[in-house]
């Protein structure tokens, strides 16, 4: 599991449909304007995550966060556009990348990918996660939810601020939190095997925080 990189996409929204704010006396109420909940500003991100590695003292030795990348690009508005703003002057041998079964994803045998993935001594392969099994992807299982909880503590008012808030939340999430999600993934894999490949099971709670204090967390 240490040589598997999980990748997945997710929409991150500027705001939730319902927000609760605590204001100080005579504080200015935040203004939110939108035609309807269907038009809440959102940005799609691609995240890549691997398993955390720790030394004998429990200190992380590997940066498991490969990155989170927004699907956006910037370009100057055309001169004829009403939105144009005038300017004044001028050591692993094999790496597996697991993706879900979305139709836009490339095939593991794509020749361009194989050529690129074998450069500089790398041996990188693509694989699909089992169909109809979101628990088999570490990002869907809990990591995206943890990032979103931190992101909603911010109050972005623009796409740039939303991107910064998501990236900040991604960086702030601790290695221990990510490792806990991987331990949950291992529990799900065990239950899937018990069900002969089925997904009729409940996610087990193994008391990770207690095991961490005792120094008995499984690998």
Q: pLDDT of 184-219, one tens digit each?
A: 888 888 888 888 888 788 877 777 766 766 666 665
Q: Which residues pair with 45 in a beta bridge?
A: 10, 70
Q: Is 83 a domain residue?
A: no
Q: Is 131 a domain residue?
A: yes
Has this prediction a pTM greater than 0.75? no
Spatial separation of the C-alpha atoms in residues 109 and 128, rounded to whole Å:
12
* pLDDT tens by residue, 153-181: 887 888 888 899 898 888 888 888 888 88
Residue 121, domain extent? 4-16+38-73+92-173
Spatial separation of the C-alpha atoms in residues 75 and 68, rounded to whole Å:
21
Q: Is 116 a domain residue?
A: yes
Local structure of 2: helix, strand or coil: coil
Spatial separation of the C-alpha atoms in residues 140 and 126, rounded to whole Å:
18
Q: For residues 93-98, give the mean pLDDT.
A: 83
Highest mean pLDDT among 29-43, 76-90, 110-124, 195-209: 110-124
Residue 86 has a pLDDT of 46
Highest mean pLDDT among 57-66, 106-115, 125-134: 106-115
Q: Is 162 a domain residue?
A: yes
Q: Is 54 a domain residue?
A: yes
Q: Is 59 a domain residue?
A: yes
The answer to whether 66 and 5 have CB atoms below 8 angstroms apart is: yes
> How far is CA 112 from each of CA 16, 66, 124, 164, 210, rounded to the nearest angstrom?
40, 22, 13, 32, 47
Q: Is 214 a domain residue?
A: no
User: What is the number of domains present in the chain?
Assistant: 1
Q: Is 164 a domain residue?
A: yes
Residue 103 has a pLDDT of 77
CATH number of domain containing 65: 3.30.420.10
């Amino acid at each position: 599991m240490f040589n598997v990189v999980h990748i997945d996409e997710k929409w991150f929204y500027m705001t939730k449909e319902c927000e609760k704010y605590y204001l100080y006396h005579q504080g200015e109420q935040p203004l939110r304007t939108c035609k309807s909940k269907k038009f809440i500003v959102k940005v799609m991100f691609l995240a890549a995550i691997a398993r955390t590695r720790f030394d004998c003292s429990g200190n992380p030795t590997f940066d498991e966060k490969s990155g989170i990348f927004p699907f956006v690009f910037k370009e100057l508005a055309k001169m004829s556009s009403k939105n144009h703003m005038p300017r004044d002057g001028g050591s692993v041998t094999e790496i597996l990348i697991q993706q879900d079964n979305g139709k836009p994803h490339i095939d593991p045998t794509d020749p361009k990918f194989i050529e690129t993935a074998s450069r500089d001594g790398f041996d990188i392969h693509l694989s699909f996660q089992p169909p109809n099994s979101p628990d088999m992807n570490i990002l869907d299982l809990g990591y995206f939810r943890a990032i979103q909880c931190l992101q909603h503590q911010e109050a972005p008012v623009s796409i740039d601020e939303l991107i910064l808030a998501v990236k900040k939340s991604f960086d702030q999430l601790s290695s221990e939190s990510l490792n806990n999600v991987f331990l949950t993934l291992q529990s799900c894999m065990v239950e899937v095997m018990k069900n002969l490949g089925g997904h009729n099971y409940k996610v087990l709670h193994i008391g990770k925080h207690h095991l961490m204090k005792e120094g008995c967390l499984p690998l």
